[in-house]
Structures are given as structure tokens and as C-alpha cells.
Chain A
Amino acid sequence: MSAAPLLEVRDLTVRLGGPARRLEAVREASFALAEGTTLGIVGESGCGKSITMLALMGLLAPDIEISGSVRFRGEELIGKSQRELSSLRGKRMAMIFQDPMTSLNPVMTVGEQIGEAIAIHATALSRAARQARALDLLKVVAIPFPERRLRQYPHELSGGMRQRVMIAIAMANDPELLIADEPTTALDVTVQAQIMELLLQLQKERKMGLVLISHDLGVVARVANEVAIMYAGRICERGPVGTVFGRPGHPYTRGLLASLPKIDRTVESLIAIPGSLPSLAQRPSGCRFHPRCTFAQSICTRDDPALLPRGSVDVACHFADKVETS
């Protein structure tokens, strides 16, 4: 990685709430994404994955405080105006969302919405040319009867079809970066695999950088080059996916992997990480994971461990050695 990476996020911190009571939703998140590669971001619901992505796209409400640095091809995005960001969004960086049921405008046809995504950035294009391109995009995402779909409204399509439309919209201007925020979570299991395949195929064809948020460890293990594990607003482990999942250095990563049911083993009960994710307002002192951690010592209640390199992986744990060897 000698040239500037496609996306480089450094110490991204997001604070919510009024000035009187700031709540830190994300703290000092750092990661990078090289061109054409995939970064998986894994963590429980509410750990700050989506907020991190919305923050780097500039899609959070203006009263939310964001600090740190987000560089897209070396260009700093934090501090840019909404106007400047909107000319990047949908053109060079696109995003697809968790729930295709609510992410399409219910009163606009599929054709209108894809056409809009094209028109915003390619203003010179004629209406007919836009419609032709919208049709092509529907073909790209393999929607049957694309001509008819253009005239349909979102409620006339199934969840899987709607997510394909969302992908078509994201692909409208050949983005360099695609952020997929749990793109399959809201879908049927059979459809999930199809959508995932489609995303990967598009990524390969178009050499896009892909940030894939997921809590499906299997998918991440299969498709991502790098992975970042998030817990309670912090990245606790980050590195090449094989190493992180093969020899986890953070007890949380270990817990996640252990909680996966194995198809070749019969178990009495599912293994779960004890306790639950602390709420935003009640984050524990020191390491945020310590109340749920079997390795925790007294230092963990005082010192929040920094994310430190251990070989190719970065881990934020006082006892990473112990975790790895145990």
C-alpha cells in the first residue's frame, strides 16, 4: 500500500446529544481501505458501525459533533460543506442500507429514483438517455422484466428486488467506494446469498472498494480482505481477516467466534458472550468490554487499552498475548 489508500479514516470520533450531555457514539475509529479491496466491519447492533459510516459520508445531522479525519483518495472530507459532499455522494462514493423496505421513497417509481441518481450527477444527459441507463442498471442487477419495473413503485416489489434497486441506484455513477450497511440483514436467507453474490460480482467487475458492515462472521470471513471488530463505539481489533479470525487477540473477537454455532458439532446449548452491550450513556470505565470479559483484571477497569500493533493485527487489549495463546 504505497499510494494513498482509497479511504483512510483516522481517529474518527462522533458525539451525539446536546452540548450539556455529550454522548460518545464512536471513539477514535481508524481504518483504511485500499482500492478494490473489501473491509468488513463487525459488531453487535448499537456498537457504532452504522454511525461511523454515516459520519464518513457526511450524512449525520449537523448538530452531531464529528472530529478526526476521513480522507477519500487523499482528500479530506471532514469539514467539507454539504454542497461539496453531495457532489461526491452517489457519484464517487455510494451507500446501500440495511432495510430496503424503508430506503426507497414510497411515492416515486423505481425509474424516477434511479433516474434521479443519474440526473443529479450527469445533468447534461437527456431524459431518454437517463431512462436507457436506468434500464441498463436494472439489467446489471439482474432484475427480471426491467422495463416493467421502471414504472413500478417500491411497494410493488419484494424485499430482494428492492435491495437490487438500491444497488442499481448506488451503481448509477460507477462509484469508487461502496458502503454496504448490513445489506442482507432484512432479507430472506435464500435472497441474502443472491444479494451478496451480486455485490461481490459488481465489486470485482468495477474494482470498487467495499466497506461491508455485517454481523455475519461467515460472510465477512469469506469476502473481506481486512476486518475491523467494533465494540461499544471503539474498534477493538483490526487486521487481515484470516489472522483476526484465525488467532483472535481480543477477547471480544474470541467470544464472537465462539458463539458461532458449528454445523458439524452437536451442542447442548448455544454459547453466548455473557452480559449485553452497554448503552451509550452507561459505558463502563477503562476497557469497555471488561464487565463481560473472562480475562479482565483490575487494570482493565481503569485503563482503556490503546489499539496497538501485534504483528499484522492491531488489538486493543491489555492481555492480548494471553488471549491469543489460551
Chain B
Amino acid sequence: MTRYIIRRLIAMPFLLLGIITIAFFISHNTRGDPLISIIGERQMENPDVVAAAKARWGLDKSLPEQYAIYVGNLTTGDFGTSLRTKRPVAQDLLDRLPATLELVIAAMLAGSLTGIVLGVIAARFRDSGIDHLARLWALIGSSTPVFWSGLILLYVFSVALGWLPGPGRLNARTLPPETITGFLTIDSLLSGNLQLFRESLYHLILPALVLGWTVMGIVSRLVRVSMLDVLSQDYIVAARARGARELRVLFNHALRNAMIPTLTIIGFTFAYLITGAVLTETIFSWPGIGSYAVDAARNLDYPAIMGVTIVGGMAFLLSNLLTDIAYAFADPRIRLR
């Protein structure tokens, strides 16, 4: 297993290079000129300014040359400088990644756990009212656009009821805790500030619920289907024949088998949300990777686009590896070699 993991890790940079190459040439071949957002529309008439800006950002070189320089810099850990924020892209990403991770992990935890429970219940009471209700709830979750459910929940819980705070990771005037992990909930706990912990946690609830609801919809539907398949297996009858009661049959025997296909979708969803939580991040003013990606794309900020692509690619590669490892633990028939 260790050898397998090492082999996969070795292969990763090469896969990443493939992703980078494709993303580089696609993004640099789009219509539009990043210079407009750097120097402004009016200065575009001035050839001297244009030439200077091009030279400053290396845009005067040929595309293959730019590519070679970019990849060369990457190997030294230099992700380039954002055309928009004028800061190193690596720094921008490091600032924003923890916010996204905190949100996505919270959403995945809430969504997966409730999704699994809901899926098990729906399968157990197949075709009954409970099943229909659970499926409707899941369908609403997986098909409601986040920009709608987010706004509605924000209105209800923050504006109308005042139970939860509005957008942002903290109240506007609150100073964040000293950065240790970048997760505000953890950092505030580590610095012993319970007041701050409460505040960051309350801010996390709504966006995590909105995002988690989608996850729950996906997970519960898959768990239901796999549970139904597993529950019709001979070993379920055999478990009942040895006196196993319903809860034991459902959780010890059926769910352990039904989790195997579910792990894939959980891993995939997690990786997807790292760059895919854009809408939630936008609505809740969450300073994460998703909103950074949108800003980058809007301004044709090449280095930032590439940086986000690398983060997204890494997320998929790593979560695929983790999923495969989890598979091996969940299913003894799978051997990683």
C-alpha cells in the first residue's frame, strides 16, 4: 500500500503539468486582452504605455516562451504575480484556501452525515411516505440553485429572525485571530478566544448549510440506491437468520457495504467544491478560492487563473488518491498494489 501511494504521488507532478499546459494555452488563447484591466481602456490608445505594460508583465514574448518561463518559475515555487491584486499569486492562494477549506469541510461533514442517515432511512422505508419525503428533500437540496437558497436563508435567519449573522467570516469590525491554520474556528480556539470562536462558528453555519444541503442531496440519493442494492443481497438475509435486529442489519451489515460506492462521490464532491463553491462564497462574501477564481477570470488575470487551476487540479488528484485509499480500507477485496 505504501508503495502504491508513493507511486501515485510521483505521478502527480506529471499529471499536474498536463493540466497546467492545457489550461495555459486555453487561457492565453481566449479573446480579450488583460492589458485593459491593467492600464485601463484609455491608455490602450497610447502605444508607449501598452508596450511598457507588455514588457512589464512579459506579454511581449511569444506564447511558448511565456509558457517556458512560467513552468520554470513554478518549479521554484513562484506562481507569478497577479495582474489584478499585484501580489504574488501563491500568497493570494494561501490567504484564501483556508477560508474555502473551512467552509467546504464543514459543508461536507454536515452534508455527508445527514445525507447518509437520510439515505439509510429512505432505503429502509422504501416507497413509503418517509421515503418520498426524504427523496423530495434531497431533490430540492441537489437541484435548488445556491444563489436562491442562500439568499432566502440569509433573509430568513439573518435579516428576519436575527438568529444568525450576515455574510462574511466575522463581523465587519472584528479582528481575526492570529493566523495559525487559517481556519478561523480553530485559530480562535487555539488562541483561547471563545467569544471569537462563537462568532466564527455562527458565521460558518449558514454558508455551510447552504452548501451542505447540495451535498446532502447528492449523497442521500446515492446511499439510498446502494442500500437498496445491498439490502437485497443474500448476506443480509443470512444476517437476519442469525438473529440480527434491524439497526444492526442496516448499519453493521448494509451501510458498510453501501459506503463503498458512496466514498467516490464524497471524494469527488469535495474536490469539486474547492473551486466550485463560487456562488456560496459570493453570496456570503466568503473570501475563498471560488470568488478569487471568478475575479481572475473576469480580468483575464493569467497567473491567478493558472494558480486556481493548479489548486483545483491538486484537489482532484489528492482527493482521488484519498478516495482510493479509503476504498482499500472499506472493502477488503481491494488491494492497492
A→B interface (CB under 8 Å): 54, 57, 59, 82-83, 86-91, 94-95, 97, 99, 102-109, 116-117, 120-121, 153, 155, 166, 169-170, 172
Contact = CB atoms under 8 A, between A and B. Distances in A.
Contacts of A109: 332
Nearest to A156: B332
Interface of A is mostly: mixed
A104 to B, nearest CB: 6
B127 to A, nearest CB: 10
Contacts of B331: 106-107
Nearest to B332: A153
Interface in B230-252: 233-235, 237-246, 248, 252
Interface in B201-258: 233-235, 237-246, 248, 252-253, 256-257
B330 interface: yes
Contact of B253 (A105, A153, A166): A105
Contacts of A88: 243
Given A106-B257, A106-B333, A59 B240 contact: yes
A107 B256 contact: yes
Given A89-B240, A97-B234, A104-B238, A83 B333 contact: no
A102 B233 CA distance: 7
A197 to B, nearest CB: 23
A91 B237 contact: no
Given A107-B330, A116-B242, A155-B332, 19 more contacts: A59-B241, A82-B246, A87-B243, A89-B240, A90-B244, A91-B243, A97-B241, A102-B233, A102-B234, A102-B235, A103-B234, A104-B238, A105-B253, A107-B256, A107-B260, A116-B239, A117-B242, A120-B248, A172-B242
Contact of A59 (B237, B253, B256): B237
8 contacts: A59-B240, A87-B243, A88-B243, A89-B242, A90-B243, A94-B241, A94-B242, A95-B238
A86 B244 contact: yes
A99 B235 CA distance: 10
Contact of A103 (B238, B256, B257, B260): B238
A155 B257 CA distance: 14
A117 B245 contact: no
A159 to B, nearest CB: 14
Contacts of A94: 241-242
Nearest 9 A-B pairs (CB), nearest first? Answer: A90-B243, A90-B242, A102-B234, A153-B332, A117-B242, A103-B238, A95-B241, A105-B235, A120-B243
Contacts of B260: 107
Contacts of B248: 116, 120
Nearest to B329: A107
A109 B252 CA distance: 12
Nearest to B259: A107
Nearest to B127: A63
Contacts of B257: 105-107
A82 to B, nearest CB: 7
Interface of B: 233-235, 237-246, 248, 252-253, 256-257, 260, 330-333
A153 B237 CA distance: 19
A216 B333 CA distance: 34
Contacts of B238: 95, 97, 103-105, 166, 169
Contacts of A57: 241
A90 B245 contact: no
Contacts of B243: 86-91, 117, 120-121
A166 B244 CA distance: 15
Nearest to A58: B240
B333 A153 contact: yes
Contacts of A166: 238
Chain B CB count within 10 A is highest, among A95, A103, A155, for A103
Nearest to A102: B234
A89 B241 contact: yes
B87 to A, nearest CB: 49
A105 B239 contact: yes
B242 A99 contact: no
A106 B233 CA distance: 11
Nearest to A170: B242
A108 B255 CA distance: 12
Contacts of A117: 242-243
A197 B257 CA distance: 34
A107 B104 CA distance: 30
A213 to B, nearest CB: 14
B233, B243, B252, most chain A CB atoms within 10 A: B243
Contacts of B235: 102-106
B332 A83 contact: no
A83 B252 CA distance: 17
A89 B239 CA distance: 10
Contacts of A54: 237
A97 B238 CA distance: 8
Contacts of A170: 242
Residue in B238, B240, B248 whose Cβ sees the most chain A Cβ within 10 Å = B238
